[in-house]
Amino acid sequence: MTSKPTVKQVRQLFSMVKNSDDELFESYADDPRSGVQKIIAQTRRRLARQMAAQTAFTQRFRFEKELWQKGCRYVAGVDEVGRGPLAGPVVTCAVILDDHFDLVGVTDSKQLTAHEREQLYLKIVDEAIEVSIAVNDAPTIDRLNIYAATQQAMIRAVNQLHHRPEHLIVDAVPLKINIPQTTLIKGDQKSISVAAASIVAKEYRDHLMKDYDRVYPGYDFANNMGYGTAKHLAGLARLGATPIHRRSFSPVAKIISKK
């Protein structure tokens, strides 16, 4: 008589299940072992999460698909990272995708772990039709103000693209550029192109800030990315401002005035 697969073997079988109507569910539905029933429940939850993620991915692709159907071949998603920090640049990114793009995990960069962002960053750069990054440093931010500096960098990121977009999907910031655009509040949660741009911009800026942490130790840039954390403010009070600090931002200006 053939022996039953062990619980470990059943777990391996169910790890390969791709859909909820797989015959394995029926085969093991009456298995009396609690370990097997636990595996079945876990598999159903995994498949439900995957289905929800796929549905959300499809929903976040609706703006691009509508524009493609209207004849826009190149649609660029545009986003920025770094408007709020006291130090470091604002980084903007423009990303052009096509309908073969299938990275279901692409969403608002703030909802992802550092490891997830890094892995998606590499895949986005590989799968996208084109990616363009533009940076404005702290002196430029001080000279223009953060909003204008962000707009300028976004426009530069778009203009650097070799494929001229026929439409832009922009997160929150309307751009003075002669290209039709859709401006979305929380665009990185609503558009795959904008979400991809946010991930690339975030990864690029985080790596810059980690480099700056080595150049300007004492501010904890590698962990706070230039935001006004307690360690950053303590370093600023103790050491003063660096060349990458935004002197037009109130906390920096106050500390400089006391020095």
| Tens-digit pLDDT profile for residues 183-240 | 999 888 899 999 999 999 999 999 999 999 999 999 999 999 999 999 999 999 999 9
- Give the mean model confidence (pLDDT) for residues 30-41: 90
Domain assignment present for residue 75? The answer is: yes
Instruction: Name the pairing type of β-strands 90-96 and 130-136.
Output: antiparallel
Q: What is the pTM of this model?
A: 0.82
Query: What letter would DSSP give residue 249?
Result: S
- Both 83 and 196 in a single domain? yes
Position 109 in a domain: yes
- Could you give the CA distance from residue 47 to residue 49 in angstroms, rounded to a whole number? 5
Q: Are 252 and 246 in contact (CB under 8 A)?
A: yes
The dihedral sign for the CA sequence 63, 175, 123, 107 = negative
Residue at 1 is within a domain: no
| 24 is a domain residue | yes
More confident position, 114 or 248: 248
Return phi, psi of residue 185, to 5°. -75, 135
In 3D space, the residue among 147, 171, 146, 168 whose CA is nearest the CA of residue 159 turns out to be 168
Same domain assignment for residues 36 and 77: no
Asked whether residue 207 is assigned to any structural domain, the reply reads: no
Q: Which residues pair with 182 in a beta bridge?
A: 169
Asked whether 60 and 193 are in contact (CB, 8 A), the reply is no
Q: What residue numbers bound the domain in which 45 lies?
A: 7-59
